[in-house]
Chains A and B, each alone.
Chain A
Amino acid sequence: MPAVLAQARGLRKRYRGLTAVDGIDFHIEPGICFGFLGPNGAGKTTTLRMLLGLTPPDAGRLEVFGLPLPRCGRDVRRHTGVVPQTDNLDPDFTVEENLRIYGSYFGLKGSELDERIARLLEFAALAERARARTETLSGGMKRRLTLARALVNAPELVVLDEPTTGLDPQARHLVWARLEQLRAEGTTLLLTTHYMEEAERLCDRLVIMDHGRILAEGSPRELVRCHVEPEVVEIRNAEPTLVTGLSRAGDCRLEQVGSSLYCYTERAAPLLERLRDRKGLVFLHRPAGLEDVFLRLTGRELRD
Chain B
Amino acid sequence: MHPWGPPRIRLAALAVWRRNLLVWRKLLGPALAMNFGEPVLYLLGLGYGLGFFIGEMAGMPYLSFLASGIVASSAMTTASFEGMYSVFTRMVPQRTYEAILATPLDADDIVTGELLWCATKSLISATAILVVAVAMGALPATPGLVLVLPVVFLTGLAFAGPALVVSAVAPNYDFFNYYMVLVITPMFILSGVFYPIDTLPTTLQDAVQFLPLTHAVALSRSLVAGTGTAVAWVHVVVLSAYAMVGHYFAAVLIRRRLLR
Among B56-102, those with CB < 8 Å from A are: 94-96, 98-102
Partner of B104, one of A77, A91, A92: A77
Q: Is the CB of B96 within 8 A of A104?
A: no
Query: B15-54 toward A: CB 8 Å interface, digit per residue (1/0)?
Result: 1001100110010000000000000000000000000000
CA gap between A84 and B99 in the complex, in Å = 8
Query: B103-129 toward A: CB 8 Å interface, digit per residue (1/0)?
Result: 111100000000000000000000000
Partner of A105, one of B22, B94, B104: B104
Q: Is the CB of A91 within 8 A of B94?
A: yes
Q: Is the CB of B259 within 8 A of A56?
A: yes
Q: Is the CB of A106 within 8 A of B103?
A: yes
Q: Is the CB of B96 within 8 A of A88?
A: yes
CA gap between A78 and B106 in the complex, in Å = 11
Partner of A73, one of B12, B106, B260: B106
B19 surroundings in chain A (CB, below 8 A)? 90, 101, 104
A283 close to chain B: CB less than 8 A: no
B18 surroundings in chain A (CB, below 8 A)? 104
Q: Is the CB of A102 within 8 A of B99?
A: yes
CA gap between A82 and B98 in the complex, in Å = 10
CA gap between A115 and B106 in the complex, in Å = 27
A276 close to chain B: CB less than 8 A: no
Per the CB 8 Å criterion, the residue count for chain A at the interface is 29
Q: Is the interface of B mostly helix, strand, loop or mixed?
A: helix
CA gap between A97 and B12 in the complex, in Å = 19
Q: How far is the CB of B256 from chain A (nearest CB, A)?
A: 11
Q: How far is the CB of A120 from chain B (nearest CB, A)?
A: 15
Q: Is the CB of A92 within 8 A of B102?
A: no
Partner of B15, one of A80, A88, A90, A104: A104
CA gap between A55 and B99 in the complex, in Å = 15
Q: Is the CB of A90 within 8 A of B96?
A: yes
B104 surroundings in chain A (CB, below 8 A)? 74-75, 77-78, 105-107
Partner of B26, one of A92, A105, A106: A92
**Which of chain B's residues has its CB closest to A153's CB?**
B103
A82 surroundings in chain B (CB, below 8 A)? 102
Contacts A54-B259, A92-B23, A92-B26 known; A77 to B102 CB distance under 8 Å?
Answer: yes
Chain A to chain B: the 3 pairs with minimum beta-carbon distance, closest first: A88-B95, A82-B102, A105-B103
Residues of A within 8 A of B (CB): 15, 52, 54-56, 73-75, 77-78, 80, 82, 84, 86, 88-93, 97, 101-102, 104-107, 150, 153
Residues of B within 8 A of A (CB): 12, 15, 18-19, 22-23, 26, 94-96, 98-106, 258-260
- Ordered by A's residue number, 7 sampled pairs between the chains whose C-beta atoms are within 8 Å are A54-B101, A54-B258, A73-B106, A75-B104, A78-B104, A91-B94, A107-B104
Known: A74-B106, A92-B23, A104-B19. 17 other contacts (CB 8 A): A52-B101, A54-B102, A54-B258, A55-B260, A77-B102, A78-B103, A80-B102, A84-B98, A84-B99, A88-B96, A88-B98, A89-B99, A90-B19, A104-B15, A105-B15, A105-B103, A106-B104
